[in-house]
Chain A
């Protein structure tokens, strides 16, 4: 057996490694970074979720989610919340196609899981906090840079009644 056949054989094997293998699947949704300031005490921080609403202003988080007019992350049935007491976090949320008028980080501050919620940050491209910025979700496209600044001491206006 000649050495050149050995080298040729190994070259064939090596080339087979050049395929990348497993790849991330196409993603339809949005992503960004949440930056936090002024974290509150733990007893007023019962839960923290990202919510994307179809309408603005929404009626309530639960009503909008249960009627398919909002996406919440982590999901309603998930027992864990977003990481707490971190400086920032990256997120990726799968979402259905179409326009979302209002993207917010919502804090549950009291024991009532239906009513004790308030927004503590929202996606906004300008300084007019009364009107948040919308996003458009397209098929197999990750709408990126939907960054949200959360300041627990200076939250945006609360648009929902409960």
Chain B
């Protein structure tokens, strides 16, 4: 997983401004055991923003390094970090170095960008972060980002609502207590304030980073329970074309009663992508299509995605990257079952319900290193969201536009401090039949300092000021501080601790929904206030051996003014600030390799105690136990794997809602096992990989949400060619 190279760009860019005294550093990095060149090694001039990534020959060049005596830091996933002191750079001279890296415990040198809005080693981060990369996504044939998130420790999905360590329950697609970013830029819909996973083409995802815990000190509203950062693929240096085809079939339901006569239910998808460079211009383009009959009646979907990424190197040290993405989808709407006897059939009155949506975003990023101590990154995004449905009494429709712009700086005043700071602005405009014509704006400023107290201790402190003004709601302002510490007492052991505050401004849909659903009248609430949170965590990771890594964490979160939908005295429905809550828990994960890492094991377990302090009861839709186990083995051109997920029975659901749905209270624990078998024919000179996925192989029947049976066993065959 040598993904480091893809994100080194920020460090390798520098200003067109002339540096008065600079030289270059060239070198080669190899593995100590076999002397083979290592690709994607992250090489940084310590205490500066200068760096490079090794190429296919293990070679790298750092240009315009400041004159003087430096320490180089080498890091790569799966290898121990090495430092090379006393590298002398003289004006106009190329210094040459040769370094051999030793194999390290699993995943100790993974690089992340979300925790501090800059690239850093996972071991330097004071909060818990999980990472899922493109290989994991492709291997599991995840067709959307939320599919992939089901395999991340500490993350639980309730339909499309993300729950990180008990922070969220089920929000009915309105509001999110987890912030999603695309390449570091907030990506929530303007009207409902939800995470929209289907817009992001997973074929262009390089990796997904999940930060667990309140992160509003850097990211502002919605980062109440955590942050999901979807990082898109870098443009390939050499021309590269990928074709990916899959086709699958859902198995028959377990019981004759559930066989609703839909025949064979199929799904298939096709995507083609191409990435290449033309001198200073690089481009990636992807077209994809997805068709899914669905395993339930009135549950089909058809989706089309188009993605274009352009990068222009203004100089060897400056670049402008622009991304366009378009998605069109038509799908049926399955809200809940008719009853448990007909669990795969909607109520008769909901036959034919559906949603048509068109979503588009364009984003742009410009990076410039002004000097060896100061760099800037300017980024912006426009997200257009347009949908209409045919649900219930007449069609609803909504159009929204979100504009977001940010200027971020990184300042390294000396070799001990790294200061990240920035300002951010946003504008939101909604035209909708159920939310009305609404607009809002926000402004934020933030700063954070990472202080290397000693070789073993690093402190992080920062705060962010946010101002939000949403239509007729009272304007709100908020300051969210954070503090973190990382201690590395011995090689392979890291202790971490952090506290932070979070908040979430109400979404347009929560404040202004005015509609009628199945006879229930929902009215606006112009008095809604932001939700607020405080979270703390202590954790440790320890390399049990070169082939085994243990990570444990204890966490505690307090929430105030949580927004929930409910009935008011008049019998109408409304979103209200009703709940004060406390969520405590523990998380443990183990990664281990056996037989020279030909057999990899990944275990994770999260315990959550989610207390509703207002009602002195447990919070809704929070499973107390979530566990996963993955086993992956490679033997020659064949590889095989098992994924196992356990989610304990929900202690509480939306009891009022369950009463109006036949058998609505029916639920249980989930035990789901998936099998994968893959053949990589590149061993024989053919650049083709085929994978057979058997999902829910033992046909375990479970619900995540009231009246929503999850998929039965399904078989999917994937063929991928890389040309």
Assess whether B668 is in contact with A1, with CB atoms less than 8 Å apart: no
A80 CB contacts on chain B under 8 angstroms: 347-349
Task: Give the complex CA separation of A77 and B351 in angstroms.
Answer: 18
Do A92 and B342 contact each other (CB < 8 Å), given the known contacts A6-B594, A17-B700?
A: yes
Choice from A1, A18, A24 contacting B257 with Cβ under 8 Å: A24
Assess whether B698 is in contact with A17, with CB atoms less than 8 Å apart: yes
The prevalent SS among residues of A at the interface is loop
Assess whether B548 is in contact with A25, with CB atoms less than 8 Å apart: no
Assess whether A24 is in contact with B644, with CB atoms less than 8 Å apart: no
The segment from A8-16, A123-131, A148-156 found at the interface with B is: A8-16
Question: In the complex, what's the smallest C-beta–C-beta distance from B555 to chain A, in angstroms?
Answer: 25
Choice from A14, A23, A25 contacting B642 with Cβ under 8 Å: A14
Q: Does B343 contact A (CB under 8 A)?
A: yes
Assess whether B671 is in contact with A24, with CB atoms less than 8 Å apart: no
Q: Which residue of A lies closest to B627 (CB)?
A: A13
Assess whether B349 is in contact with A3, with CB atoms less than 8 Å apart: no
Choice from B351, B599, B672, B709 contacting A17 with Cβ under 8 Å: B672
Task: Give the complex CA separation of A16 and B668 in angstroms.
Answer: 13
Question: In the complex, what's the smallest C-beta–C-beta distance from A35 to chain B, in angstroms?
Answer: 13
| Interface Cβ pair total, 8 Å cutoff | 87
Question: In the complex, what's the smallest C-beta–C-beta distance from A42 to chain B, in angstroms?
Answer: 15
Do A92 and B594 contact each other (CB < 8 Å), given the known contacts A14-B644, A22-B668?
A: no
Q: Give the B interface residue count (CB, 8 A).
A: 41
Assess whether B709 is in contact with A22, with CB atoms less than 8 Å apart: yes
B578-632 interface with A by 8 A CB criterion: 592, 594-595, 599, 601, 629, 631
Q: Does B358 contact A (CB under 8 A)?
A: no
Q: Does B663 contact A (CB under 8 A)?
A: yes
Assess whether A13 is in contact with B629, with CB atoms less than 8 Å apart: yes
Q: Does B667 contact A (CB under 8 A)?
A: yes
A9-60 interface with B by 8 A CB criterion: 9-10, 13-14, 16-25, 27
Assess whether B642 is in contact with A20, with CB atoms less than 8 Å apart: no
B663 CB contacts on chain A under 8 angstroms: 25
Assess whether A1 is in contact with B548, with CB atoms less than 8 Å apart: yes
Task: Give the complex CA separation of A27 and B341 in angstroms.
Answer: 8
Assess whether B631 is in contact with A74, with CB atoms less than 8 Å apart: no
Do A92 and B341 contact each other (CB < 8 Å), given the known contacts A19-B671, A20-B700, A22-B709?
A: yes
B592 CB contacts on chain A under 8 angstroms: 1, 6
B629 CB contacts on chain A under 8 angstroms: 9-10, 13
Task: Give the complex CA separation of A80 and B599 in angstroms.
Answer: 56
Q: Give the A interface residue count (CB, 8 A).
A: 29
Task: Give the complex CA separation of A78 and B599 in angstroms.
Answer: 57
Choice from B257, B594, B631, B701 contacting A21 with Cβ under 8 Å: B701
Assess whether A23 is in contact with B671, with CB atoms less than 8 Å apart: no
- A16, A21, A79, A80 — which one has the most chain B CB atoms within 10 A of its CB? A21
Q: Does A83 contact B (CB under 8 A)?
A: yes
Q: Which residue of B lies closest to A18 (CB)?
A: B698
A73-103 interface with B by 8 A CB criterion: 74, 78-83, 90, 92
Task: Give the complex CA separation of A9 and B601 in angstroms.
Answer: 11
Q: Does B571 contact A (CB under 8 A)?
A: no
Choice from A7, A16, A23, A78 contacting B255 with Cβ under 8 Å: A23
Assess whether B646 is in contact with A13, with CB atoms less than 8 Å apart: yes
Q: Does B562 contact A (CB under 8 A)?
A: no
Assess whether A23 is in contact with B341, with CB atoms less than 8 Å apart: no
Question: In the complex, what's the smallest C-beta–C-beta distance from A2 to chain B, in angstroms?
Answer: 8
Q: Which residue of B lies closest to A21 (CB)?
A: B701
A25 CB contacts on chain B under 8 angstroms: 340-341, 663
Assess whether B646 is in contact with A16, with CB atoms less than 8 Å apart: yes
Q: Does B702 contact A (CB under 8 A)?
A: yes
Choice from B260, B631, B646, B666 contacting A22 with Cβ under 8 Å: B666
User: Would you give 24 A-B contacts (Cβ < 8 Å), ordered by A?
Assistant: A1-B548, A1-B592, A6-B594, A7-B631, A9-B629, A13-B644, A14-B644, A17-B672, A20-B701, A21-B671, A22-B668, A22-B709, A24-B341, A24-B343, A25-B340, A25-B663, A74-B348, A79-B349, A80-B347, A81-B348, A83-B351, A90-B260, A90-B261, A92-B342
Question: Can you name 11 extra interface pairs (CB under 8 A) apart from A10-B631, A13-B646?
Answer: A3-B595, A6-B592, A14-B644, A17-B644, A17-B672, A17-B698, A20-B700, A21-B671, A21-B700, A22-B666, A22-B667
Closest 8 CB pairs of A and B: A80-B349, A21-B701, A17-B698, A17-B671, A24-B257, A17-B673, A22-B701, A3-B594
